[in-house]
A and B are shown apart, each in its own frame.
Chain A
Amino acid sequence: MKNNASPSLSRRSFIKTSALAGGGMLIGFNLFQACKPEAKPPVDIPIDISKLNFNDFNAFIKIADNGMVTIFSPNPEIGQGVKTSMPMLIAEELDVSWDSVHVAQGALDTKNFTRQVAGGSQSLRQGWEPLRQTGATARQMLINAAATKWGVDASECKTENGVIINANGDKLGYGEVVKEAATLEVPENITLKDPKDFKIIGKNISNVDVDKIIAGKSLYGMDYKEEGMVYASVLRPPAFGKKLVDYDDTAVRAISGVHDVVKFGDKIAVLAKDTWTAMKGKKALKANWASNSKLENTEDHDKILMDLLNGKEFNTLRTDGDVKKAFAQADQVIERTYESPFLPHNCMEPMNFFADVTPEKIRLVGPIQTPAGTARRVANLLERDPEDVSVEMTRMGGGFGRRLYGDFALEAAEISKIAQKPVKVVYSREDDMSAGIYRPAIKYKISASIKDGKISGYHLKEASVNSNMYGLIPNFFPAGAIENYQVDVANYNSKITTGAWRAPYTNFLSFAEQSFFDELAEILEIDRIQLRLDLLQKVKGTTDERIQYSPERLEKVIKVAVDKSGWGKAKEGTYQGFSAYYCHNTHVAEVADVVLENDIPVVKKVTCVVDCGIVVNPLGAKNQIEGGVIDGVGHAMYGDFSFKDGVPQDKNFNTYRLIRMNETPVVETHFIESDIAPTGLGEPTLPPAGAAVANAIKAAKGIRLYKQPFIKNMNFKAPLG
């Protein structure tokens, strides 16, 4: 990790400043694009703060003449706290106190933001250098302005909490030089702080939106409304694979407050003056549906996936050595199968979106992780110029992957176009759960060959619905640790829509692998921690550049977890389970403590050790970690979703079980101290949790779990948790 900016990159290509008409300095920059060497054509930056737009720059810093710093960021906030942590990076290098920083957003209550564009999968990892460079560049400009005023060399000046100080001890506040600084040339060759000098990064900083959240202010897409807007409740095919034949809306139109009933594709929207009337109208719709192919059942999927696993048709994603030979020469072959169901995302805020389609333009407002892609898809669908489409992002009541898909925004746009009105589509919980883009059902078969008491070969086979593990996942642990190693995938094409779900693929793969190694250790009669450490030992010094994880970092989290969890020293009646995994650039080890209450396993505590590089905001980071672990425990235990004749069998929380507070373990978090660039925390603590719990239940009850959810596959007499 280089701390100095590369001199070959021009600051001028990504930062532009202006002196604001009302006083103060405005710095326009682009989140995440700062490092890209290609210069953009010259763009104008407003001198009037009310004219701020996000077309040329997607973020701004205003330094007022009283020294107050406002960071304008249209960044999407799903709940991972990036809206707090990313401005922290700017403030750190700008060298101001956090108290003087205000984070303003493209919120619903301001007219300042005419357009907001930002990608959905931005993270701290990508912003780490560019955001700090932006802050440091602005700081240097302020120093340069003060130095000129004093007639001294800029190199003799330093800064402290928003004040520039020269060698004589003279002081000037940032606000006193903003006017001059704004007109200076953007400096190059900026030096970033040494991590040991950080004053804000590494401190506990509260969520910047916490006051609005606890006051119940309008923040979310569900809260958005405009004059003249109507609410739409949409009737969609009741089963995957069914199409609309005809419908009767007589009863619907008789309901007072219903404005219109609109058919689009195989869906029918009821438009009404308010949400409740629209939902009532939908219930009064009578529709006939038909299918011309066999409808899908979970039992069929189970058989199909099992046949795929036992078949011969696979795509090989990685192969090392000769697995076939290793298995032929083995003393013993151990083979286990692991099974997971589909899962809905169940964001607490059901899907919703606002669209106003007019001949001039298309305005979209709502909770979306992928505004740019969604704008393009809407333009395509309605055959419009992409330039006509704007997307404004609201705060999101959870994402977990579901809001990567703009299907709900497309619905809103299509309905608005037909109805020629501004429309907000609102999903009911039933709509949300039954028109999902689910985590696909997956099965893994893992086989290991044992020769002379050692693991000589490892063969992972995946059978999944619609798509398979992708990209770099085959290069995660234990790739590189076992001489003969192969990853094969096969899939079945289903009409059921599937997609990314918090920690895609690894959310279940980690359970399978970390359960398998636990069992392998038992069979080989090797200490389960030692088995993992021995494997990691073999990866150290590897020249294989495909290997994604660091054996040293994984070893470290394992050792610290052993220490912090009191592994092997649990008091009588407490049973522990171990799991360690690398994904999303972060190394994690977890130990679950299970006790038996009336012979039923209850997860009391999970010790979680995380190496995510530098911890930018420990307060926010711990929140993510605790949430990820509990989410992982909850879905491994209870998450279940099935289909009968194409119809989702759960539609609401009366039958679909999410973990609740009385079932929640205490999560104890430990960070590995690091000066390496930070990595994300929204996902990586979820995958190891399931195996930690399953391995603890094995220790407690002697029963090995191979299927999720655990509650369904083990005869517990009462709720787990």
Chain B
Amino acid sequence: MPVYNLKINGQSHRVEADQDTPLLWILRDHLDMVGTKFSCGIGQCGACTIHIDGAATRSCLLQVSMIEKAEITTIEGLSEDISHPVQQAWKEVDVPQCGYCQAGQMMSAAAFLKQNATPNKSEIRDAMSGNICRCASYNRIEEAVKVAASKMS
């Protein structure tokens, strides 16, 4: 079985896996990093969102063989102590209901705010529309992105 060296949250990890294994399952089953969630498996819901070189990417579609040189960031690496402005905003606004989709939501928000530090309402709504929240905590997610933006400015 092939061996891959992955750089995740600033650390190197050596994993042995079939080349078609999605990064999602490498994180969850091989490396015990379960913050990245499985939900649809086809890149439609955003629960598995991580950063590849800073860009929000769906890890359920990303084969391990394609990302050896990339800088991978997961929710566990967004900050060491939940101090990232997005995490703090999520806490302040008390966003989660069931909470399952929220890691993906926060990863999408963090990547988005890096590209657009002062988004308006419709930019936030469009940017976050790739992430489904079945509890429909959308009003709070929208508010939290706004709060995070102000924390980062």
The secondary-structure label for the interface of chain B is loop
Choice from A277, A659, A666 contacting B136 with Cβ under 8 Å: A659
Question: In the complex, what's the smallest C-beta–C-beta distance from A219 to chain B, in angstroms?
Answer: 7
Using an 8 Å CB-CB cutoff, how does the interface string of A613-628 with B read, 1 for contact, 0 for none? 0000001100110111
Using an 8 Å CB-CB cutoff, how does the interface string of B79-94 with A read, 1 for contact, 0 for none? 0001000010011001
Question: In the complex, what's the smallest C-beta–C-beta distance from B91 to chain A, in angstroms?
Answer: 5
Using an 8 Å CB-CB cutoff, how does the interface string of B4-41 with A read, 1 for contact, 0 for none? 00000000000000101110010011101111111111
Determine whether the beta carbon of A398 is less than 8 Å from that of B131: no
Choice from B106, B125, B131 contacting A214 with Cβ under 8 Å: B106
Choice from A206, A256, A275, A629 contacting B25 with Cβ under 8 Å: A275
Determine whether the beta carbon of B38 is less than 8 Å from that of A275: yes
Q: Does A571 contact B (CB under 8 A)?
A: no
Residues of B within 8 A of A206 (CB): 91, 94
Determine whether the beta carbon of A79 is less than 8 Å from that of B135: yes
Determine whether the beta carbon of B42 is less than 8 Å from that of A623: no
Determine whether the beta carbon of B44 is less than 8 Å from that of A348: no
- B52-75: which residues lie under 8 A (CB-CB) from chain A? 74-75
Question: In the complex, what's the smallest C-beta–C-beta distance from A688 to chain B, in angstroms?
Answer: 15
Choice from A79, A218, A653 contacting B40 with Cβ under 8 Å: A653
Determine whether the beta carbon of A346 is less than 8 Å from that of B134: yes
Report the Cα distance A145→B23, complex, angstroms.
Answer: 59
Residues of B within 8 A of A40 (CB): none
Using an 8 Å CB-CB cutoff, how does the interface string of A674-708 with B read, 1 for contact, 0 for none? 00000000000000000000000000000000000
Q: Does A215 contact B (CB under 8 A)?
A: yes
Report the Cα distance A667→B136, complex, angstroms.
Answer: 11
Question: In the complex, what's the smallest C-beta–C-beta distance from A400 to chain B, in angstroms?
Answer: 7
Q: Does A223 contact B (CB under 8 A)?
A: yes
Determine whether the beta carbon of B45 is less than 8 Å from that of A276: no
Residues of A within 8 A of B100 (CB): 220, 347-349, 397-398
Determine whether the beta carbon of A211 is less than 8 Å from that of B82: yes
Question: In the complex, what's the smallest C-beta–C-beta distance from A214 to chain B, in angstroms?
Answer: 4
Choice from B21, B101, B106, B138 contacting A630 with Cβ under 8 Å: B138
Q: Does A196 contact B (CB under 8 A)?
A: no
Q: Does B119 contact A (CB under 8 A)?
A: no
Report the Cα distance A239→B132, complex, angstroms.
Answer: 27
Report the Cα distance A80→B137, complex, angstroms.
Answer: 12
Determine whether the beta carbon of B36 is less than 8 Å from that of A216: yes
Residues of B within 8 A of A654 (CB): 42, 44
Q: Does A184 contact B (CB under 8 A)?
A: no
Report the Cα distance A210→B137, complex, angstroms.
Answer: 14
Report the Cα distance A81→B96, complex, angstroms.
Answer: 9
Residues of B within 8 A of A2 (CB): none
Determine whether the beta carbon of B45 is less than 8 Å from that of A348: yes
Determine whether the beta carbon of B138 is less than 8 Å from that of A219: no
Known A-B contacts A79-B135, A276-B25, A661-B129; A215 and B75 likewise in contact (beta carbons under 8 Å): yes
Residues of A within 8 A of B34 (CB): 216, 218, 222-223
Determine whether the beta carbon of A666 is less than 8 Å from that of B126: no
Please name the residue on chain B nearest to A220 by beta carbon: B100
Residues of B within 8 A of A79 (CB): 96-99, 135
Q: Does A631 contact B (CB under 8 A)?
A: yes
Known A-B contacts A215-B35, A216-B75, A348-B47; A207 and B125 likewise in contact (beta carbons under 8 Å): no
Report the Cα distance A350→B87, complex, angstroms.
Answer: 25
Count chain B CB atoms within 10 A of each CB in A207, A396, A667 and give the residue with the most.
A207
Question: In the complex, what's the smallest C-beta–C-beta distance from B54 to chain A, in angstroms?
Answer: 18
Residues of A within 8 A of B37 (CB): 220, 222, 348-349, 397
- A251-288: which residues lie under 8 A (CB-CB) from chain B? 256-257, 274-277, 280
Report the Cα distance A558→B2, complex, angstroms.
Answer: 65
Choice from A275, A429, A666 contacting B139 with Cβ under 8 Å: A666
Determine whether the beta carbon of B38 is less than 8 Å from that of A217: no
Question: In the complex, what's the smallest C-beta–C-beta distance from B9 to chain A, in angstroms?
Answer: 11
Q: Does A294 contact B (CB under 8 A)?
A: no
- A197-219: which residues lie under 8 A (CB-CB) from chain B? 204, 206-207, 209-211, 213-219
Known A-B contacts A348-B101, A429-B41; A210 and B91 likewise in contact (beta carbons under 8 Å): yes
Using an 8 Å CB-CB cutoff, how does the interface string of A65-79 with B read, 1 for contact, 0 for none? 000000000000111
Q: Does B149 contact A (CB under 8 A)?
A: no
Report the Cα distance A650→B131, complex, angstroms.
Answer: 19
Report the Cα distance A629→B122, complex, angstroms.
Answer: 21
Determine whether the beta carbon of B137 is less than 8 Å from that of A217: no
Report the Cα distance A213→B140, complex, angstroms.
Answer: 15
Report the Cα distance A276→B24, complex, angstroms.
Answer: 9
Choice from B33, B95, B142 contacting A661 with Cβ under 8 Å: B142
Residues of B within 8 A of A631 (CB): 134-136
Known A-B contacts A211-B82, A652-B42; A630 and B28 likewise in contact (beta carbons under 8 Å): no
Report the Cα distance A211→B88, complex, angstroms.
Answer: 9
Known A-B contacts A256-B1, A346-B134, A660-B129; A81 and B97 likewise in contact (beta carbons under 8 Å): yes
Q: Does A428 contact B (CB under 8 A)?
A: yes
Count chain B CB atoms within 10 A of each CB in A428, A626, A660 and give the residue with the most.
A660
Determine whether the beta carbon of B136 is less than 8 Å from that of A80: no
Please name the residue on chain B nearest to A209 by beta carbon: B99
* A-B contacts besides A215-B76, A623-B97, A626-B140, 13 pairs, CB < 8 Å: A79-B135, A216-B36, A225-B32, A274-B25, A276-B21, A277-B18, A348-B101, A348-B135, A397-B37, A623-B137, A631-B136, A662-B126, A664-B139
Across the A-B interface, give the 6 residue pairs with the lowest CB-CB distance, nearest first: A216-B35, A79-B98, A397-B100, A216-B75, A630-B136, A653-B44
Which A residues contact B (CB, under 8 angstroms)? 77-81, 204, 206-207, 209-211, 213-220, 222-223, 225, 231, 256-257, 274-277, 280, 346-350, 395-400, 428-430, 619-620, 623-624, 626-631, 634, 652-654, 658-664, 666-667
What are 24 contact pairs spanning A and B, CB under 8 A?
A: A204-B94, A206-B91, A210-B91, A216-B75, A216-B103, A225-B32, A275-B25, A276-B29, A277-B18, A346-B134, A348-B45, A428-B41, A429-B40, A620-B94, A623-B137, A626-B136, A626-B137, A626-B139, A627-B137, A660-B131, A662-B122, A662-B125, A662-B129, A664-B142
